[in-house]
Amino acid sequence: MIASRQLVRLIVLKKCFNRLCSVTVVAPTSNNTKEALKELRKKTGYSYVNCRKALNKFGPDDLDEAVEWLKKRAIEEGWEKAAK
């Protein structure tokens, strides 16, 4: 009886531990990042996903570098809005 209780306790603890370890933490998006994304999309006309990649690479404080990177990728990949 005692051994089975200990076994159940170990199983429950293992499940709880696995749940805690598998939780992914998402960093909160700051207002700064949202505004930078909005401005980058307005400046370039490129998609949300591509602008997001540029912001992840250069950060919200370096929009000029992000714009240059986006233009370079647009030319390399032949995006439709590359001329905009």
Q: Report the C-alpha gap between 65 and 9 in whole angstroms.
A: 55
pLDDT at 29: 60
pLDDT by position in tens, the chain (length 84):
667 888 888 888 788 777 766 655 545 567 788 999 999 999 999 999 999 999 999 998 899 999 999 999 999 888 765 455
Q: Report the C-alpha gap between 56 and 69 in whole angstroms.
A: 12
What the chain holds in terms of domains, given with CATH numbers, is 2-83 (1.10.8.10)
pTM: 0.58
